[in-house]
A and B are shown apart, each in its own frame.
Chain A
Amino acid sequence: MLAAMPLAADAAFELRFDRLSASAITLEDVHVEATALDGGRARVRAARALIAGRMLQQVQLDCADFSTLPEQRCRGGVLRARGYGPWPLDFSVRGAQRVLDANVRFSPDLRVTVGGALAGAHPHLALQAKAVDIARLLALEPALQSLLKDYAPAGRADVEAVLKDFGAARSPHIEARLLLTDARFASADGLRAAEGMSLALALDATRQGEDWLGRASVDWRAGELLWDSIYLKGGGTTLASDFVLTAGGLELRAGTLDLAGVGRLNLEALFARSPATLTRARVEGRSFDLDALNTRFVEPLFAARGWPTFAVSGRADLVAEFDPQGATAVTLRLADAAVADKSGRWSLDGVTAVLPWQRDVPTEPHAAVTSAHFDRLPFGAFDLKASVAADRVSLQPVRIPVIDAGLRLNLLEFRKDDGRWRGDLSFDLEPVSMPALSEALGLPRMAGSLGASVPHVSWRDGVLSLDGQLLIRVFDGYVAATGLRVIEPLGTTPRVLADLQMRYIDLEALTDTVKFGRVTGRLDGDVKGLELLRWRPVAFDAHIRSSAGDYPRVISQRAVQNITALGGPGAAAAIQRSFLGFFERFGYRRIGLSCVLRDGVCDMDGIAPRGDGFMLIEGGGIPALSVVGYNRRVNWPELIERLRRVTDAKPVVK
């Protein structure tokens, strides 16, 4: 309709200018057609217009009522340019100061009011717009628009801006305040999104040559933000920075990001304009609250990947550097920090550490730990030094004090081969005093010492396997484990597979320790195909029997009672009622028991069949006592529960 407006036919004036220049506007190749100078229709066209540093092409203004004298005005006008408009507008410019009063309707709901003085010693323009569509605002800056095009930004902005000291040979200055309400954006997959954002932006900038220099700040007052796995709620988070905006890009200098409850980050960054990318950045923060940092940033990232999360406390300093490919270097310094798993199973306390990482260069992180614990086991102070490269992580040999001995890590190394990480471990446990160890573990007090030498454990595809044999000396005999493998130790269903051999275990020492009732003698045992699921036995094929050889074989009444009590309530009472209740100790020839555990059921057998049952203890000497079992299928959890009751029970005094 507007384009069809016939004008040239009744134009009384037709003027052409190569160039028209006012304080803030330069027009080139100008063509004015008007019916009169003091009213009537007019059309002004310019091939190019330079307005406040922005070049517009093919600008055209049509006015229903146009005058140049005594004031310049345009009523019922329509402005357009290539790629912009049409925008209805009215304006007037009056007097020597060239006082401007303009009103542009960019859309039915977006009206911009501009007032000010275009000439004089201090020309200025004030612009006000309410409830501007944010998408429209972003369209003003193509670099921003291309950066955000996949995020469908929306919302409303109230804009107030004052432009001062514009014009030739001056340095124009702009002060702008933006209040964004109900701002939101969302990526197509919804993993980068914001809703209900309320942001206050302030901008203060001066033009120098072709560049704009100034300071900008953003106060995030409300709303929620999701960026991949990081979810944040607004309030108390502010970003402020000096900046330089050039034709090539945007540079942030001396920026600060205050994160509510976490701390302050200092930042510097350089962004290229086209294509819109981060060229480089440096972020630095001091004395961060690690707990807040962890709960707000680290935990969500880990949880979203199904990784275990940790409890962290203490303070940290952070320096990170970025290039267009991402992070190039990150250094984290921890002071008096503590790390623990969520259930409190293990912890590292009093951690002071410098943890550098570089993308292209190997680094050597180190940490000093004051104390640590795993389950009930306490560890003393130790220093860790590591070497970290893209395809190799290794720890230098270290001695970790444990009780009155030390755990010597001789080798701990992870390497990446064919895209898969594999690890190797070797350690020795110096002999630990068993009384102290059993006390620390909350176990019955045991005598002797425990040492171990583990020459090689490998970790391949989620399986830890022990090369060779793990030999533990206990109760004057030994327990040897072979084929020890731990499958997915950190997974949903950690499993342990092993075969055990026990030889010449001193029963007196064992039964005294577990308060089972004294048994004198020696025991051998073999556990084949032992399988632990989540650290509990689910399958094995166990045989225990008296060791060969000549040694005293005596069993106390209490032990007999306890063994029979394992068969269920009532059995023990039977003995006490019989004449056997008069004797404290009995002789025996041999003990033998097997248990094949499958599907929660222990399939039991003894030395030999005896009537309907099977003999567990064959009597010998005077007085002799044999124990016979009758139930071959025993519920394993129930058996364990009975064993616990028996060993926990205080000795019965009669």
Chain B
Amino acid sequence: MNTLKRMVLLGAMWATTAWAQGNIEINTPAISQIKSSMQARHTQLAPHYASGAVGLGADGNVVLRDANAVPLAQRQAVQGLVAQENTDRAALYREIARANGHPEWEADIRSTFAQRWIERAQSGWYIQSGGQWSRK
């Protein structure tokens, strides 16, 4: 039992150390690559966030929630933008988990980002919580 206690204590200390260091590595070439691809796309997506056509999903993705806000001829393109953005976002979450040597963190990273995207969204953008859309 003593051994077990020591191990647990050791585990707790390790966790404390990790927390104290508290660093998440995001400066890798892969992450920069994805980031700049998303940054370039943002100028195209921003008007659709503002119009409410695209909203920030609770799952860390963007969602085409109301295509009616986009002229008919452009809806196809917006679908493509949303699909590409979500591909990049998935890659981003995965790469951050990998860059930190914990591929199993991917889901945690995704949900952290989901909250932060929503938290940082500009007022007027649509955000999702509990399956419901609301305007920030």
User: Given contacts A305-B83, A306-B80, A599-B27, is CB(A493)–CB(B75) below 8 Å?
Assistant: no
Chain A 598-615 interface 0/1 with B at a Cβ cutoff of 8 Å (1 = within): 011000000000000000
Whether B91 and A231, one on each chain, are in contact in the complex, defined by CB atoms closer than 8 angstroms, is no
Q: Which residues of the partner chain B approach A230 to less than 8 Å between Cβ atoms?
A: 76
Let me know if A304 and B70 touch, CB within 8 A.
no
**In the complex, what residues of A have CB within 8 A of residue B68's CB?**
186, 189-190, 193
Q: Is B59 an interface residue (CB 8 A)?
A: no
Q: Is A590 close to B, CB under 8 A?
A: no
Q: Does A534 contact B (CB under 8 A)?
A: yes
The complex places the Cα of A551 from the Cα of B126 at a distance, in Å, of 72
Contacts of B33 in A (CB 8 A): 492-493, 533-534
* Chain A hits for B88, CB < 8 A: 492
Q: Is B72 an interface residue (CB 8 A)?
A: yes
Question: Is B130 located at the chain interface by the 8 A CB criterion?
Answer: no
Which A221-269 residues sit within 8 Å CB-CB of chain B?
224, 226, 229-231
Q: Report which of B30, B69, B73 forms a contact with A231, defined as CB distance below 8 A.
A: B73
Using Cβ atoms and an 8 Å threshold, which residues of chain B touch A533? 29-30, 33
* Given A224-B73, A231-B72, A306-B86, A492:B79 Cβ within 8 A: no
Partner of B91 from the list A193, A194, A492 (CB cut-off 8 Å) is: A492
From A191, A306, A534, contact of B83 by CB (8 A): A306
Determine if A226 and B76 form an interchain contact, defined as CB atoms under 8 angstroms apart.
yes
Hey, which chain B residues are within 8 Å of A488, CB to CB?
91
The answer on a CB contact under 8 Å between A538 and B29 is yes
* Distance to closest chain B CB from A292 (angstroms): 17
What A residues does B39 contact at CB under 8 A? none
Q: Which of B86-108 contact A (CB under 8 A)?
A: 86-88, 91, 95
Q: Interface size on B (CB < 8 Å)?
A: 27
Query: Which residues of chain B are within 8 angstroms of A599 by Cβ–Cβ distance?
Result: 27, 29
Is A303 an interface residue when CB atoms closer than 8 A count as contact?
A: yes
Q: Are B79 and A304 in contact (CB-based, < 8 A)? A: yes
For residue A95, CB closer than 8 A to chain B, the reply is no
**Are B87 and A306 closer than 8 Å at their CB atoms?**
yes
Expressed in whole angstroms, the Cα–Cα distance for A345 and B95 within the complex equals 26
Query: Using an 8 Å CB-CB cutoff, how does the interface string of B55-92 with A read, 1 for contact, 0 for none?
Result: 00000000011111110110110011001101110010
Inter-subunit contact A304/B91 (CB<8 Å): no
With a CB–CB cut-off of 8 A, which chain B residues contact A191? 64, 67, 75, 79
| Contact of B37 with A by CB under 8 A | yes
- B69 proximity list for chain A (CB < 8 A): 190
Complex interface bits, B15-47 against A, C-beta within 8 A gives 1, otherwise 0: 000000000000111100110010000000000
Q: Which residue of A lies closest to B29 (CB)?
A: A538
Residue A195 is within 8 A (CB to CB) of chain B in the complex: yes
A495 within 8 A of B: yes
Chain A, 172-222, CB within 8 A of any chain B CB:
186, 189-191, 193-195
Give the distance in Å from the alpha carbon of A68 to the alpha carbon of B62 in the complex.
71
Q: Complex Cα distance A507/B127, Å?
A: 62
Q: Does A300 contact B (CB under 8 A)?
A: yes
Cα distance A511–B80 in the bound complex, in angstroms:
48
The answer on a CB contact under 8 Å between B66 and A493 is: no
In the complex, chain B residues whose CB is within 8 Å of the CB of A534: 33
A486 CB to closest chain B CB (Å) equals: 14
The total of chain A residues at the interface (CB under 8 A) is 27
Task: Decide: A190 near B87, CB < 8 A? Known: A229-B79, A495-B30, A533-B29.
Answer: no
Task: Find chain B residues with CB under 8 A from A300 CB.
Answer: 76
Binary contact track A300-331/B, C-beta < 8 Å → 1, others 0: 10011110000000000000000000000000
A304 touches B66 (CB 8 A): no
Q: Which of B34, B72, B80, B87 contacts A226 (CB 8 A)?
A: B72
The interface residues of chain A lying within 8 Å CB-to-CB of B64 are 189, 191
Chain A residues whose C-beta falls within 8 Å of the C-beta of B79 in the assembled complex: 191, 229, 303-304
Interface residue A53 (Cβ < 8 Å from any Cβ of B):
no
Interface set, chain A 13-46, CB cutoff 8 A to B? none
Shortest beta-carbon distance, A132 to chain B, in Å? 24
A190 — which chain B residues lie within 8 A by C-beta?
66-70, 75
Q: Whose C-beta in chain A lies nearest to the C-beta of B33?
A: A493
Interface flag for A491 (CB, 8 Å): yes
Tell whether, in the assembled complex, residue B34 and residue A493 are in contact, meaning their CB atoms are under 8 Å apart: yes
* Most chain B C-beta atoms within 10 Å of own C-beta, residue among A300, A305, A492: A492
What is the minimal beta-carbon distance from B84 to any residue of chain A, in angstroms? 5
Q: Give the CA-CA distance A600 to B37 in the complex, in Å.
A: 19
Please name all residues of chain A whose beta carbon is closer than 8 Å to the beta carbon of B73 when the two chains form the complex: 224, 231
Shortest distance in angstroms between A123's beta carbon and chain B's nearest beta carbon? 46
- The CA-CA distance from A599 to B99 in the complex, in Å, is 13
Q: Name A491's contact: one of B27, B29, B65, B87 (CB within 8 Å).
A: B87
- Closest partner residue, chain B, to A534 (CB atom): B33
| Residue of B64, B80, B86 contacting most chain A CB atoms (<10 Å) | B80
- A231 close to B80 (CB less than 8 A): no
B80, A189: Cβ atoms under 8 Å? no
Q: Compute how far the CA of A315 lies from the CA of B24 in the bound complex, rounded to whole angstroms.
A: 53
| Bound CA–CA A443/B34 (angstroms) | 31
Check B72 against A195 for contact (C-beta < 8 Å): yes
Would you give the shortest CB distance from B69 to chain A, in whole angstroms?
7
Q: Which residue of A lies closest to B75 (CB)?
A: A226
Check if B86 sits within 8 Å of A231, measured CB to CB. no
Residues of chain B within 8 A of A195, CB atoms compared: 72
Give the residues in chain B near A492, CB-CB below 8 Å: 33-34, 37, 87-88, 91
- Taking CB atoms, residues of chain A closer than 8 Å to B76 are 226, 229-231, 300, 303-304
- The listed residue (A193, A229, A304, A306) touching B72 by CB distance below 8 A is A193
Q: Which residues of A contact B28 (CB under 8 A)?
A: 538
16 A-B pairs in the complex with CB atoms less than 8 angstroms apart: A189-B64, A189-B65, A189-B67, A190-B68, A190-B69, A194-B72, A224-B72, A224-B73, A226-B72, A231-B73, A304-B83, A491-B91, A493-B34, A538-B30, A599-B27, A600-B29
* Leading 6 A-B pairs by shortest Cβ distance: A190-B67, A306-B83, A190-B68, A304-B79, A303-B80, A538-B29
Given contacts A189-B66, A491-B87, A533-B30, 14 further A-B contacts (CB under 8 A): A189-B64, A189-B67, A190-B69, A191-B64, A224-B73, A231-B76, A300-B76, A303-B76, A303-B79, A304-B83, A306-B84, A493-B91, A493-B95, A534-B33
